[in-house]
Amino acid sequence: MRVSVAQAAPILANLRNLAIAPQRAGTDELTGLANQARPAMPPSASSRTPKGPASRSARS
């Protein structure tokens, strides 16, 4: 019986952590407020291109 419990304990702990993870990801642990959703894709290259007089002179 002890061997079975010793083998099952880490598996059950892992399953518990997997069940709690979505809730923890959805709320900030310090404030308890909902986290903002992150974009699935990084910003496009055009939005990362510098704009303004300095960037225009560097490209000319």
pLDDT in tens, 6-47: 999 999 999 999 999 988 888 888 888 888 766 666 666 556
In a domain, 39, yes or no: no
Count of domains forming the chain? 1
Q: Which domain holds residue 22?
A: 1-29
pLDDT given for residue 12 in this prediction: 97
In a domain, 35, yes or no: no
Q: Is 1 helix (H, G, I), strand (E, B) or coil?
A: coil
Query: b or e along 39-58 (b: 16 or more beta carbons within 10 Å of the residue's beta carbon)?
Result: eeeeeeeeeeeeeeeeeeee
In a domain, 45, yes or no: no
pTM: 0.47
